[in-house]
Structure 1
């Protein structure tokens, strides 16, 4: 941490009164200088533009280089810096999220029209499934949720689909023990062993389901959505109240959600076995 001035937290007008640490704010100020500088900047230039102590700038630039947000232009003496690959990755992730919502909603509408039930698209944030698209059922009795809803991933069909794409090390980091597998209902997965066993089965068959695991009155099937790199980036799901759930409903909605997920994958550039 930079300690050339007393550490304090100040409100910022740009975020509605929330506060940020000085080092973080200065790091972001440095990155934003590069929005108008395609040829790179040297530490003295950054120091002059921001009015910061040179030692602080050296430390912050070093941290940004270490994390991939800046890179040193090796042919320059003294070194100048330009934006690194991590910024490109963040921009790509942001662009993908925008495409995901727009494309996902278009395809989810089509799937919902055929199914008559609620269709959602979820992405993963740690141990949570976050719903970025939702198209309501046309029935009076239907799932109540909203875009932006966050549920425990291991309790939802879409969340389990996303978790099944992770490797053993990633799953161990997310779920180190049984205490990290918290149930939402009496039917929820409630142990790491059950979770890992269930995810192995999902990988084998290529789709997931839940019955009253996140909601005592809802059943759900989900399928994976892949991007151009073959990465599972989202899951599409169809949720049905249990009063309308039976084997025929399950099979029909499973066919619809798998086809919908393949259609969204094609829109995102996936090919081969993923479509």
Structure 2
């Protein structure tokens, strides 16, 4: 999003503040003023003043030299507040725990955010070989089981309006043609679950189901398992467990 695209009714300084926070949220670590200015395109003098204001307020932090900038602790407080107040996250907690126990694999609850999915909650696998996950991680919808399960609740035309014709390649297995993805979504709708076979991360297979709390759905559950540990029997058990979890959450979702 750029300030020029937001329309005349929005305040430029507020738009720039949000854009800056989104820039730092998507790029962990510390960044120089020059690199931030190159990315966002604001005049250097006004960018510096905005950064200093956000530093004073705790939304942005600087390193010991005061010349490099990163996301601040207040962003964490707001993110935590969002999760603490979200009714879907609260309703899903027992189901996430049960899925984790039943599958012994890593479980995710995620939400569709434009063309991406954002992790709202996770349960880590007890196995030594497991994916590294974190709440707040943002991944392309088209390359993940979570995202494909959610995209399948949209019409074909809605998917076309949401995604570009050529999709970003994450691995050699990623489907990058939008029309081919739409064909796959037909299968997802029919079977009730989506599969990502090393399309987002090499060595990792994921299975996802959309939660029917609204149409189109915005939340989904998934189970991630290393390919090295995936057998046909284990795969079927994971699919069955996810579908059962979806059905258990359906009554709660209709009340939200």
- TM class, shorter-chain normalised? 0.5 to 0.7
Q: Which runs of 4+ in 1 moved over 3 A?
A: 8-18, 94-97
Judge conservation of contact 1:105–1:135 (CA < 8 Å) in 2: no
| Equivalent runs, 1:107-186 vs 2, <5 Å | 107-178=95-166, 181-186=167-172
Report the count of equivalent residues. Answer: 188
Separation of aligned partners in 2, 1:97 and 1:108: 17
| Superposed CA RMSD | 2.5
Bigger relative contact order (CA 8 A; separation at least 6) = 2
Task: Report what 2:204 is aligned to.
Answer: 218
Judge conservation of contact 2:104–2:126 (CA < 8 Å) in 1: yes
| Equivalent runs, 1:1-275 vs 2, <5 Å | 1=8, 11=50, 16=58, 98-178=86-166, 181-227=167-213, 229=214, 231-269=216-254
Give the SS at the match of 1:226: coil
Change (3 A) 1:137 1:187: same
Deviation at 1:189, TM superposition (A): 0.7
Q: Which runs of 5+ in 1 are unaligned?
A: 3-7, 19-93, 271-275
Q: Which runs of 5+ in 2 are unaligned?
A: 1-7, 10-45, 61-81
TM-score (norm 2): 0.66
Give the SS at the match of 2:86: helix
Deviation at 1:196, TM superposition (A): 0.8
Judge conservation of contact 2:106–2:225 (CA < 8 Å) in 1: yes
Separation of aligned partners in 1, 2:128 and 2:195: 23
Separation of aligned partners in 2, 1:193 and 1:231: 19
Q: Deviations over 1:59-110 (max 9, x none)?
A: xxxxxxxxxxxxxxxxxxxxxxxxxxxxxxxxxxx79971112222321011
Separation of aligned partners in 1, 2:59 and 2:237: 50
Q: Deviations over 1:231-274 (max 9, x none)?
A: 5231111111111112111100000011112222222226xxxx
Change (3 A) 1:97 1:184: farther
TM-score (norm 1): 0.62
Judge conservation of contact 1:124–1:234 (CA < 8 Å) in 2: yes
Separation of aligned partners in 2, 1:144 and 1:213: 16
Give the SS at the match of 1:256: helix
Change (3 A) 1:177 1:102: same
Deviation at 1:17, TM superposition (A): 5.8
Which of 1 and 2 has greater Rg?
A: 1
Deviation at 1:168, TM superposition (A): 2.8
